[in-house]
Amino acid sequence: MSFSELGLTDRLLRAVEAEGYDKPTPVQKKAIPVILSRRDVMAAAETGSGKTAAFSLPLLQNLAEGEQASANRVRALILTPTRELAAQVAAFAARYSQHLSLCSTVVFGGVKINPQMKRLRGGADLLVATPGRLLDLYHQRAIRLSTVETLVLDEADRMLDLGFTDEVTKIISLLPQHRQNLLFSATFSPDIRRLAGALLHNPVQIEVSPRNAAASAVKQSVFEVDKARKAALLSHLIRRGGWEQALVFTLTKRAADRLVRQLEEDGISAISIHGDKSQGARTRALATFRAGDVRILVATDVAARGLDIVQLPYVVNFDLPKVATDYVHRIGRTGRAGLQGEAISLVTADDVKQLAAIETVIQQQITREQEVGFVPRQVVPITQPRAGGPKKPKKPKKPKQFAAEKPGRRNRTGRAAKPSHKRVVNRAPGRGGR
């Protein structure tokens, strides 16, 4: 199947051809015709599957068929969880709409708000935004949301993970009741399904990959190593393999900056990106890496979702993520758009529990390797994925009530029981009490 068979106009097809795309991905095949018909969509697909084009191409076509936005008003709103993803989605939308008479813009925090307010004065057919900055602009009356025809929640599960539930709920309450809703997520978690139930109207559900599945085009391996030698092993692997570029994940901002210094001492150019960096510094770091001016980009999980780097061959988990499902999103930065990639995790004896959790999430055992000269002194025990996937968290038990606290309690005479005045002694945990 070609893009021309999906119902897209010639002007969009020219833009798609300019991007070098010849065949639509599975999620694009399923989503584009449905969105063109203006139905609600709930879609999940593995990272790197072309979700941005899947919703932006038909969305732009629908917008081109209507009247342009008036002052301070928005016709289509795309919400993203991070600044980097917002900038990326806006860049894709601008390229796809190059032959259309549409106005699109992007707003996010970390930069001055006044230039964004000025850009919105003439209105925007398509606005890409992070939740916090969008609400700031709304409260300053720089934007009106009463004319939004389509709402897109991109990386919706990440939006909830980062604590934007209240902001998203508030934004939804400001939108017109009758609109098209598109929800795109890496997974259909219980929280996402609850959000979809409240947001979507009779949606078409699209799922083109197993839940929490690692990208099939990514070769995964684990290198066992002692904690003190992780940086040295990474430098060795980069030099031995002649890596041109790699994205390396650390658990903390301090660890990211420390690793950059260690790599540079070894003669390997590197730069870091994390939450303590200003938006300008983060943008420059990404631009420098994308241009190939540095070999290694060291990042915390701020870059784990939505970051699109063309032909990125390697992703390294210098530290395993705290949340096992984030492993899938990290390694999904490579092996995109039909290309092969490699994901390497540096694992110590202290990481065994987390490694087992990751293998349980992806339901496969990751290949173990040891590098000559870096064999760990501390044995890294063998792990096995637990059958059936991760255990569901137990629901918290309801606190027990004392008899006198229970409403409506009656004694044998039928009268309301008097509250007990017996002294209650709180015992220390583990110190008696049957």
Q: How confident is the model at residue 329 (pLDDT cuts 50, 70, 90)?
A: confident
State residue 84's pLDDT score: 85
Determine which of 94-108, 181-195, 281-295, 300-314 has the lowest per-residue pLDDT on average. Answer: 300-314
Sequence length of the chain is 434
pLDDT of amino acid 390? 57
Q: What is the pLDDT of residue 380?
A: 92
- Over the stretch 204-237, which tens digit does the pLDDT of each residue have? 999 876 555 556 678 999 999 999 999 999 999 9
Whether pLDDT at 321 is above 60: yes
Arithmetic mean of pLDDT, 2-12: 92
pLDDT for 401 beyond 90: no
pLDDT tens digit string along 125-161? 999 999 999 999 999 999 999 999 999 999 888 888 7
Closest C-alpha among 156, 154, 141 to residue 194 = 156
Query: Which of residues 125 and 423 earns the better pLDDT score?
Result: 125
Calculate what percentage of the chain has a pLDDT beyond 70: 84
Whether residue 319 is predicted with pLDDT greater than 80 in this model: the reply is: yes
Cβ neighbours around 433 below 10 Å, total: 9
| Mean predicted confidence (pLDDT) in 197-210 | 86
pLDDT higher than threshold 50 for residue 421: no
CA distances from 100 to 58, 185, 230, 242 (A): 13, 28, 50, 43
Residue 158: what pLDDT? 83
For residues 227 and 348, give the distance between their C-alpha atoms in angstroms, rounded to a whole number: 6
pLDDT band at 402 (very low <50, low <70, confident <90, very high): very low
Mean pLDDT of 13-26: 89
How does pLDDT run across 249-289, given as a tens digit for each residue? 999 999 999 999 999 999 999 999 987 888 788 888 888 99
Domains and CATH numbers, the chain: 3-207 (3.40.50.300), 218-369 (3.40.50.300)
Are 99 and 50 contacting, i.e. CB atoms less than 8 angstroms apart? no
Region 55-78: what's the mean pLDDT? 96
* pTM confidence score: 0.67
Which one has a higher pLDDT value, 174 or 323?
174
Mean pLDDT in residue range 395-424: 42
Q: Is 71 helix (H, G, I), strand (E, B) or coil?
A: coil
Query: 384: helix, coil or strand?
Result: coil
CA distance 75 to 77: 7
Least Cα distance to 205 among 62, 32, 57, 30 occurs for 30
* Residue 349: Cβ within 10 Å count: 15
Tokens 């009247």 locate to: 67
E strand or H helix that includes residue 21: none
- How much is the pLDDT for 396? 44
Six token digits for residue 198: 């409240």
